[in-house]
Structure 1
C-alpha cells in the first residue's frame, strides 16, 4: 500500500514543533552558509584567522593519519628491501672473502718474490756459488737441528760447504747423497761458528743451544759486554765459512756469554744457497804421487879411429 502524500504529524504538538524547528534550522543554516560564502568571496581575509585555527587543530590529526597510512603502505616494500639487503650482504661477504683470499695469495707471492730476488742478487754477488736448492724440511722439536736440502753431490754439494739464505747463514753441509744433503743448522748443539762483532770487531764463538737460540761467547776479552742489537757476522776463521756473512743478533744485555737469534730461520726459508768452503782442505785421499818425467838418455859419441896413410 502506498504511503499517503499528506505528511502532517497529526495532532501531536511536540511533533509539529519539531518539524517546524527542522525547517527553521535548515533555512537558517542555508542563509548563514550563503552569507558566509558571499563574505568569503568578496572578502577572503575575513576567515583567515578561523582557517588558521582549524588548520592548527586538524594538522596533527592529519599528520598522524598520514604517517600511519604511509607506514602501512611501506610494509610490503620494507619486507622486499629486507630480503634484497640480506642477499646483497651475502654477496658482499663472499666478495670480501674472495678479495681477502686473493690479497693473502698476492702477499705470499710478493714475499716469495722478494726473497727469491734477494737470493738471486746474493748468487750474483757470490764468487763461488755451488747451487741453489730448496730446504724441504727441518727439525724443530728435537734437540738436534737438521735440515734436508734437495741437492747432493751430483749438483756439486760436498760435506763442509756453508749454506746461507738471503738474510744470513743457515749452517753447513753435514752429509751429501746423490740428490739430497743434510744441513747442520746454526742452532744445533754441535754447531760452532767463529764470528766477530760488527761495531768493534770483537771475536767470539756462536754455538747452538738445541732450542732454536744461539749462545755467543767472547774469546778475546774477559768481561766483554754484549748489548741488545749487536750484530755478529762470520770472521772467516776456521776456513769453512766465508767472512762477512750475517749470523745472529744479540737479544739481551749480558757479559761474556749472550743469547742471540739467527737472522735466517730455516722453518720459514724455502731456498738456500750452497757455497764452497772459504779455505777448503787439500785432498789427500785418492791422489796418486806425481810421476817423474822421463830423463833423456845421452849416449856418448863413438870413438873414431884415425886412418894413417
Structure 2
C-alpha cells in the first residue's frame, strides 16, 4: 500500500522556527502594547519616560534608514546628471572646433585693425591729388604695358608720379608732354612695386610679368607661404607709392612666389588719379667746388 502523503509538503524545520519566532514577536508586541496602554491610562509620567526611551532607541535607526533611502533615491538623478554633463561636454567641444576658424579670423582682423590704426596715425605727406585725368589708351596685347593720360606738365604732372584708380594702383608716370603723360603700368616687366600682405604685414615685391599679372615675391622670409585670396597693398617703402593702395590678390596657393591678379584694370577705367610721390625727392648734394667755397 502506498505511504500516506505528508499534509505539509515542503515545510522545513527552518520555516517552523521562523513561524515560531513570528508568533513570539507578535506576542511580545502585544504585551508591550498592553503595558504601554496600561501605563498611559494609570501612570502618565511613567508612560512619558517609556515613550522617550523608545524614541531614543528608534531615532538613530530611522535616521539611518532615511539616509539610505535618500541615497538610493539620488542614484537615478546622479546617473542622469552624469550623462547630461557628458553630452554637454561633447557639445562644447564641438562648438570649440566649429568656432576655431572664426577665432583665427578674428585674430587676423585684430592684427589688421592695429596696422590700419598705425597707418591712420601716420601723417600722409604724399596723397595730395595732382590731377584727375582720362585714360586715353592702354596697351593690352604688347609685352610692354603703357597707358596714356590726357594730362601733362601743364597740369603739374611730372615723371615719377604714382597713378591709381578707384580699385587700386595703375602704375607711375615715366614721360610727360604739355597735355599728355605716359604711364608705366604695374603689369609691365619693368615695374617693381614694394607691397605688404594685409593679413600679417609680410613685406613683398610685386613685379610685372607683361601678361596682365604680377609675381609676388617675399622680401624678408625665404619660402614664404602664399594663400589664394591674399591681398597685397603698397607698403610705402622707397618713398614713391603712398602706403595702403590695393595692388593685387594672389590667385593660388604657393610658396616663395605667387601669381596675382591686379585689382585695377586700365582697360576698364575711364579716369585715373595722379598723386605726388609719398616722400619728397632727396636734395642732391652740392657740387664739390660750391662745397669748397
TM-score range, shorter chain: 0.5 to 0.7
2:168 corresponding residue in structure 1: 168
Alpha-carbon distance in structure 2 between the residues aligned to 1:271 and 1:166: 9
Alpha-carbon distance in structure 2 between the residues aligned to 1:151 and 1:239: 23
1:240 corresponding residue in structure 2: 240
CA deviations on 1:182-208 (whole Å, 9 max, x unpaired) are 000000000000000000000000000
Alpha-carbon distance in structure 2 between the residues aligned to 1:133 and 1:286: 36
2:184 corresponding residue in structure 1: 184
Alpha-carbon distance in structure 1 between the residues aligned to 2:134 and 2:282: 29
- In the TM superposition, 1:218-297 aligns within 5 A as 218-284=218-284
Structure 2 unmatched ranges of 5 or more = 1-125
CA deviations on 1:31-72 (whole Å, 9 max, x unpaired) are xxxxxxxxxxxxxxxxxxxxxxxxxxxxxxxxxxxxxxxxxx
Alpha-carbon distance in structure 2 between the residues aligned to 1:274 and 1:286: 31
Pick the structure with greater CA Rg: 1
When the two chains are superposed, the root-mean-square deviation of aligned CA atoms in Å is 2.4
Q: Tell me, what secondary structure is at the counterpart of 2:140?
A: coil
Greater RCO, 1 or 2 (C-alpha within 8 Å, sep 6+): 2
Q: Tell me, what secondary structure is at the counterpart of 1:216?
A: strand
1:263 CA displacement: 0.5
Alpha-carbon distance in structure 1 between the residues aligned to 2:217 and 2:223: 10
Alpha-carbon distance in structure 1 between the residues aligned to 2:127 and 2:262: 24
Alpha-carbon distance in structure 2 between the residues aligned to 1:134 and 1:283: 32
Tell me: CA distance 1:188–1:156, structure 2 relative to 1, closer, same or farther (3 Å). same
- In the TM superposition, 1:13-92 aligns within 5 A as none
Structure 1 unmatched ranges of 5 or more = 1-125, 293-309
* C-alpha contact 2:138 2:266 (8 A) present in aligned 1: yes
Alpha-carbon distance in structure 2 between the residues aligned to 1:263 and 1:175: 24
Q: Tell me, what secondary structure is at the counterpart of 2:167?
A: coil
1:280 CA displacement: 2.3
Alpha-carbon distance in structure 2 between the residues aligned to 1:214 and 1:252: 13
1:200 corresponding residue in structure 2: 200
